[in-house]
Amino acid sequence: MATKLSTNTKQISGLLTGIRNTRWLDREGPLGYLMISPAFLFLAFMLAYPFAISIYLSLTDKRLGADPQFIAWDNFAILFNTSRFWKTVTNSLVYTVGSLLLKFLGGLAVAQLLNREFIGKRLATAILLLPWIIPTVFSTLAWWWMLDPANSIINVMLKRWGLIQNNLPFLTDPAWAMGSLIILNTWRGVPFFAITFLAAIQTVPDELIDASKIDGANEWKRFWSVIFPLIVPVVVIVILISTIGTISDFELPYLLTKGGPRDATMVFGILTFDYSMNVGRVGLGAAVSLTMLPALALLVVLSLVELRRQT
């Protein structure tokens, strides 16, 4: 009865929209374009147009406060012959792959840990999400203080407990600095990965899990053979989108290491900033940021394909 009624109203409303089509704004086409136009115009001016400018600047020798001269591919030629640029490429790769791997594994482990009923689950979830909720800039300041070369509380406590003799060089040694950056990125990202994975795990039908219990599979085997294959679509999307954010990250490295020591944590975002703002070579900076484009475009296309496949 209810469904019949609703099909009836649909027919009637279809009829009525047909009649009222004379009213311009009631037609979906014009109304659609009208409603989309503020967003479209704004993004055309503040996103698409700047993007075009960026490509133009990368082909000029633009410096801060000077007029640009067209120099074609010279900026890219300069970059590709600079070891600092290749170091940036390697660092960005290490930073991205390292962080993503830890966030993926940590996210799965934490999701599985939370995928059971226990007292205090809501409180635990609330606390778990804090690193991701509290603005990165401010929590990174706390980390910076925690890892400070001379006053790190971690070193203070480890020495107090007699576990180390000398300070650990969290931000002063090249390898340690990259490690610290990856750990910080993981600390901030794991809550997001875990909660997203958990939501996906909870959509896995109970029957499948029960069936595998009857088959005698243990929890480890059950996770990898039953649950994981079913959450792969979510995992893929989360990883793709997070990779885009990590490869182009600016905030964490800027606040924690500024690319140092000796360029050990120099990534695309910092090099772009350094060339354009500190050195004043805006054209070269634009060129650095555009060298990310092939990787970014690939990731965006993969995300699009994956999303379309899923819906």
Partner 1 sequence: MRVSRLRRILQLLLVPYLPLTLLLLAMLFPFYWMVLTSLKTLGEVFDYVTMPLWVLKPTLSNYTYLFEKIQFGRWYLNSIWITVLTTVFSLVVSVLAGYAIARLKFRGATLIGVLVFITYLVPKTLLFIPVAQVLNNVGMLGNLNALALAYPSFLIPFCTWLLTGYFRTIPIDPEECAMVDGCSRFGAAMRITLPMAVPGILTAAIFAFTLSWNELLYALVFVTGESNKTLPVGLINSLAQRDFFNWGPLMAGATLASIPVAILYFFFMDRFVGGLTAGAVKG
Cβ contacts of 210-215, under 8 Å, gap ≥ 24? none
Question: Nearest-5° angle of CA 51, CA 243, CA 196?
Answer: 120
Which range binds partner 1 by CB under 8 A, 76-84, 168-176, 208-216, 235-243?
A: 235-243
Give yes or no for residue 88 binding partner 1 (CB under 8 A).
no
Contacting partner 1 (CB under 8 A), which of 19, 23, 81, 163? 23
- Give the C-alpha distances (Å, rounded to integers) separating 272 from 111, 170, 177, 229: 36, 25, 20, 39
Asked if 249 and 185 count as a contact pair (C-beta separation under 8 A), the reply is yes
Give yes or no for residue 141 binding partner 1 (CB under 8 A).
yes
Task: Give SS3 for 9.
Answer: helix
Contacting partner 1 (CB under 8 A), which of 19, 47, 72, 214? 47
Give yes or no for residue 230 binding partner 1 (CB under 8 A).
no
Contacting partner 1 (CB under 8 A), which of 59, 79, 178, 195? 195
Site residue total, partner 1 (CB under 8 A): 108
Indicate the residue among 77 and 134 with the shorter CB distance to partner 1.
134
Restricted to residues 156-175, the positions that interact with partner 1 (CB under 8 A) are: 156-157, 160
Which residues, other chains included, contact 225 with Cβ-Cβ below 8 Å and sequence gap of 6+? Answer: 212, 217
Task: Give SS3 for 291.
Answer: coil
Tokens of 172: 């002063």
Give yes or no for residue 302 binding partner 1 (CB under 8 A).
no
Which range binds partner 1 by CB under 8 A, 24-32, 171-179, 208-216, 221-229?
A: 24-32
Kindly report the number of other CB atoms within 10 A of residue 105's CB atom: 13
- CB 277, min distance to partner 1, A: 7
Give yes or no for residue 76 binding partner 1 (CB under 8 A).
no
Closest to 265 in 3D by CA, of 276, 275, 257, 274: 257
Which range binds partner 1 by CB under 8 A, 79-87, 173-181, 190-198, 221-229?
A: 190-198
Task: Please tell me the distance from the alpha carbon of residue 16 to that of residue 31, in angstroms, as a whole number.
Answer: 17
Which range binds partner 1 by CB under 8 A, 78-86, 161-169, 204-212, 232-240?
A: 232-240
- CB 100, min distance to partner 1, A: 10
